[in-house]
Amino acid sequence: MLMGDVMEFAAIAWVDDAMSFVSWMFSVAGAVLVGGWQRLAEVQSRYPQLLNPQNLFGLMGFVFAIWKWWESREARLFRRFESMIERQEAQLVKARSDLLDTINRPGPGLLIKAPIFAEKAVQRVLTRRSSSDGRLG
């Protein structure tokens, strides 16, 4: 692609396409803004009492209240999700330690059934231990 210090034209042709797309996007955005501003001026001239400072500040307060409600809702959802994960993690840690205690120090009548998702080597060990006399050990 590089020939000395000069790039081939095909290597930078996409830049022209990207620049034309960006300029088109700016022209569309400008047309929307101008049209919106003209519409707002038309509404203001037709209904002068609609866009007075009191109504605008009331509208801003309403929008701010909705925004704060949404933020608190999202924060509450994340806190609930975090507490749920902490509870499940604590249960998993307890279950793992109970299982390891049972495997390391089996008692009479304790049977451990190998879980389906256990690796083959773990399944063989658990099967060999539990098939000897009905308990681990």
Helix, strand, coil share (%) of the chain residues, nearest 5: 75, 5, 20
Confidence band of 4 (pLDDT split at 50, 70, 90): low
Strands 6-7 and 2-3: antiparallel
The sign one gets for the Cα dihedral 46, 49, 54, 59 is negative
Is the pLDDT reported for residue 113 higher than 80? no
User: Average per-residue pLDDT in the chain?
Assistant: 81
Confidence band of 9 (pLDDT split at 50, 70, 90): low
| Least confident segment among 24-28, 84-88, 93-97, 117-121 | 117-121
Query: Among 57, 33, 31, 55, which residue's Cα sits nearest to residue 44?
Result: 55
Taking the whole predicted model, whether its pTM rises above 0.75 is answered as: no
Model pLDDT, residue 39: 93
Confidence band of 21 (pLDDT split at 50, 70, 90): very high
